[in-house]
Chain A
Amino acid sequence: MIPISYWRNRRSYTALMGSRCRACGAEYFPPVRVCRKCKSRDIEPREMPRKGTLITYTKLTEPAEEFGKQTPVYLGLIELSNGVKLVSTLADVSESELNEGAPVSMVIRRWTEEGPTGIIYYGYKFKVDAAYSMS
């Protein structure tokens, strides 16, 4: 992690700040400068919904080195309730719950840390909703 880059993008990492096109209403995460659909540059910040469904996931046994302590990393492909897709680490995983279409919600969790005395970086992860887990 690059500390100043983390700070610069903190709203996206902690509040799913993306974009909305004022011309056609399309929403995006991560934020965009030009609308993919209508090419408008009239773009405003927009927080994404914090709920969605799991499209699919993978269990990663060889993550990049800064995530080594979290091995295995469960990585999900998620469709938010507004249709925007994102890739996120999954939290509090019980593999039997990771079904296609499982409802998921955003939580704030530890991403990476710079040693025992360095910066701890927090950001979004997604977890399967408790109600679904119970059922």
Chain B
Amino acid sequence: MNRVFIRSVGLVPVGEHWEKGLADLMYEAASNALLAAPGIKPDKIIVGNMFSGYAEHQEQLGSLLASTLGMAGVSAIKVEAACGSGGVAVHEGYLSIKSGEYENVLVVGVEKMKDMGTGKATKALSMAESAEYTQVAGASFISLNALLSKVYMAHYGRKDEEMASFPVIAHRNGVTAAHAQFRKEITVKDVLSSAIIADPIRLLSSPPAGDGAAAVLLSSKGGEVEVLASEVATNQFIFQERENLLDFMASRIASSRAVAKAGIGVSMIDFMEVHDAFPVVAALALESIGISKPGMAPIDAMNGRFNCDGELPIGTFGGLKARGHPVGATGAYQVAEAYLQLSGGAGKNQIGGAKIGLTHNVGGIDSTCAVHVLRSAI
């Protein structure tokens, strides 16, 4: 079977792009990647996106991007898995090459959030959860994460100031990241004095809304980074139906399969881009991957284990909290950021000697999880 490499990436800074629509954002990210890989012509385009239909009345993003790039005729599709759309899109690109059917696949994650007001954006995000049984009862996406946070904190005796370590790390890493939405440090005190959205989740412990697009050009013909493994798994769709609410089964299955298929051990991973949408999600991600003991990830975070100069840096360009979380694009940003780290192109955010990285992207509350293991091929 073919090996899969990342040839180049293209990033649009996450933020408020009032002058740019969906096609503009996708075009910018895709062009940046294609210009960095002269001579490579994609034979397939995969777009990861969550709610372009609801937010911008636009579907069929695969064909739209193909035509925008002047490539009508090429195979092109959109894939969707809520906040995990970007990671799942990279996964489908990986499979396209692995199968031998395609040689060069352009994957673009995109989301246009800012055209919607806060109320409509909240509704859009809640569509990750059951329309018939969760949305109708008044539950927003953040409120479900708030319930999960309370269950986690009560079960393990974790405190607000321990949970707040995650957004603090994210913001510190975002300061020097050119494509990050927020480039300003915050303190635990800042987090805990910010407005409550759904207790214990506050403004500074939840990701911002932003527009963004990230492109990853995959190729069977070699590149500076190799995708060693790409796995997708699912958890029980309706969160409250899960027997153990604290078992991130999708993350656990996808990461253990990916690590095994990559032929590495977890201890060989030099950095991780984890889905730190909320502190509790970062914690359960790290615990389900086997990095922290159950209930201990916030303590590890507080003790500096996940800092850029720590044992296992996470969110090296600011993660979802500071780089930003343009929902369906996030998983593609993570893989692009891992490429920058592993090809020595991370600038001031460079993790010295990084050889192996892992990306972890979830849709809903661990309803879908996409994990990639990548290795420097320089």
Contacts and interface: CB of A to CB of B under 8 A. Distances in A.
Nearest to A88: B137
Contacts of A61: 195-198
Contact of B130 (A30, A58, A70, A100): A30
A39 interface: no
Given A64-B123, A65-B119, A87 B147 contact: yes
Interface stretch (B96-104, B222-230, B234-242, B335-343): B234-242
A28 B241 contact: yes
Interface residues of B, number: 39
Nearest to B141: A64
A87 B144 contact: yes
Listed residue (A30, A36, A124) with the most chain B CB atoms within 10 angstroms of its CB: A30
Nearest to B122: A64
Interface in A4-33: 5-6, 9, 12-13, 28, 30
Interface in A60-113: 60-68, 70, 73, 75, 77, 85-89, 100, 111
B132 interface: yes
A53 to B, nearest CB: 14
A113 to B, nearest CB: 13
Given A12-B133, A62-B122, A65-B122, A56 B236 contact: no
Contacts of A13: 136
Contacts of A87: 134, 137, 139, 144, 147, 239-240
Interface string B232-265: 0000101111000100000000000000000000
Nearest to A111: B136
B1 interface: no
B154 A56 contact: yes
A111 B118 CA distance: 20
B150 A56 contact: yes
A12 B133 CA distance: 9
Contacts of A12: 132-133
Contacts of B146: 58, 60, 75
B130 to A, nearest CB: 7
Contacts, number: 109
B119 A68 contact: yes
A67 B201 CA distance: 19
A63 B140 contact: yes
A123 B135 CA distance: 13
A56 B198 contact: no
A89 B138 CA distance: 6
Interface in B71-126: 117-120, 122-123, 126
B198 A60 contact: yes
B143 A73 contact: yes
A45 B43 CA distance: 50
A60 B137 contact: no
Given A5-B131, A59-B199, A77-B147, A111 B138 contact: yes
Contact of B142 (A62, A67, A70): A62
A30 B138 contact: no
Contacts of A63: 122, 138, 140, 143
A1 B143 contact: no
Instruction: Find the residue from B138, B144, B147, B201 having the highest chain A CB count within 10 A.
Output: B138
A77 B240 contact: yes
A55 B140 contact: no
B151 interface: yes
A56 B151 contact: yes
Contact of B139 (A28, A75, A100, A123): A75
B131 A85 contact: no
Nearest to B151: A56
B126 to A, nearest CB: 5
Contact of B138 (A9, A59, A70, A86): A70
Contacts of A62: 118-119, 122, 140, 142, 197-198
A123 B245 CA distance: 25
Contact of B143 (A5, A60, A66, A85): A60
Given A5-B131, A63-B122, A65-B120, A58 B136 contact: no
8 contacts: A9-B132, A13-B136, A58-B199, A61-B197, A75-B137, A77-B151, A77-B240, A86-B240
Given A62-B119, A87-B137, A87-B240, 14 more contacts: A30-B133, A56-B150, A56-B154, A58-B200, A60-B140, A60-B143, A61-B195, A61-B196, A64-B119, A64-B126, A64-B138, A65-B122, A75-B198, A85-B245
